[in-house]
């Protein structure tokens, strides 16, 4: 029996990464800017999406992919009620979206009519970080009731993001949340990252976030033109 060592040197998620590149190509072909939203359950992902639709619906056509572990369409229904196309991915218990799942969902949306595609990942602060989807940028939504220590306890999800939303700012007077400590954790991981404290309940800060989003779409279009 001959024995030998075979060099492999292959990234373990290379298959996912290649499929993510295909998704990116599909988005670019249709000139759709893709955003992946990650957050813990209950941080307000769907509420932020609904506020974003409300703020930008006169200027942009949005599309939404909703990821959930259970076979429900609660979130997609809310987006459709708000007047934008949405498709629900049920991961069948899996804790994150991956490039295969997004690739299957894309044909269900009228990409040629969409300017901005928002992908709402499964509510989870660990697994979604490991799986590229092919979207152009990543946003994490944190919320005041989760506590100010989350960047220190779940550093991977907060790393390499393009913007951070701190939701539920209206609850700040009632909760022991040190915003300076929280922001320092974010800064260590992403020096200079764009930061949007807001409240989906009162609408405070939503305009600043929507302007940033609009600016990203404009920059994307000018880069392609």
Partner 1 sequence: MHELAITESILSIALDHAGRCGATRVTDLNLVIGQLSSIVDDSVQFYWDIVCKETICEGAVLHFERIPAQMVCLNCDHTYAITRGLEACPQCESFHVRVHAGEEFRLESIEVEMAERGL
For residue 127, report the phi and psi dihedrals to the nearest 5 degrees.
-70, -40
Candidates 20-28, 81-89, 108-116, 154-162: pick the segment binding partner 1 (CB under 8 A).
154-162
Q: Are 62 and 118 in contact (CB under 8 A)?
A: yes
| Cα 121 to Cα 50: distance, rounded to the nearest angstrom | 15
**Residues of this chain, 185-204, that bind partner 1 according to CB under 8 A:** 185, 187-189, 191
| Cα 206 to Cα 220: distance, rounded to the nearest angstrom | 21
Q: Are 51 and 19 in contact (CB under 8 A)?
A: no
Is 180 near partner 1 (CB under 8 A)?
Answer: no
State which of residues 5, 58, 222, 224 lies at the interface with partner 1 (CB under 8 A): 5
Number of residues counted as binding partner 1 (CB under 8 A):
37
Count of beta carbons in the 10 Å neighbourhood of residue 51? 23
State which of residues 152, 193, 201, 208 lies at the interface with partner 1 (CB under 8 A): 152
Q: Are 139 and 36 in contact (CB under 8 A)?
A: yes
Taking residues 112 to 141 in sequence order and writing x for each that binds partner 1 by CB under 8 A, - otherwise, the string is --------------xx-xxx----------
Is 39 near partner 1 (CB under 8 A)?
Answer: no
**DSSP H or E segment with residue 155:** helix 155-158
CB 27 to partner 1: min, Å? 23
Applying CB under 8 A, which residues contact partner 1? 1-16, 93-96, 98, 126-127, 129-131, 151-152, 155-156, 159, 184-185, 187-189, 191
């Amino acid at each position: 029996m001959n024995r030998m060592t075979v060099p492999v040197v292959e990234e373990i998620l290379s298959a996912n990464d290649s499929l993510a590149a295909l998704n990116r190509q599909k988005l670019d072909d249709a000139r759709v800017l893709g955003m992946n939203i990650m957050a813990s359950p209950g941080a307000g992902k769907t509420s932020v999406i609904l506020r974003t639709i409300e703020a930008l619906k006169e200027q942009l056509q949005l599309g939404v992919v909703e990821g959930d572990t259970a076979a429900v369409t609660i979130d997609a229904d809310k987006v459709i009620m708000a007047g934008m196309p949405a498709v629900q991915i049920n991961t069948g218990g899996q804790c994150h979206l991956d490039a295969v799942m997004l690739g299957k969902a894309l044909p269900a949306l009228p990409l040629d009519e969409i300017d901005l595609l928002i992908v709402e990942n499964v509510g989870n602060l660990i697994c979604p970080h490991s799986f590229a989807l092919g979207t152009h940028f990543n946003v994490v939504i944190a919320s005041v009731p989760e506590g100010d220590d989350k960047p220190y306890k779940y550093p991977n999800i907060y790393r390499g993001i393009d913007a951070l939303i701190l939701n539920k700012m209206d609850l700040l007077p009632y909760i022991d949340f040190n915003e300076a400590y929280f922001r320092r954790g974010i800064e260590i991981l992403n020096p200079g990252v764009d930061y949007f404290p807001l409240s989906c309940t009162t609408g405070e800060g939503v305009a600043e976030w929507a302007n940033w989003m609009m600016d990203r779409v404009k920059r994307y279009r000018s880069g392609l033109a």
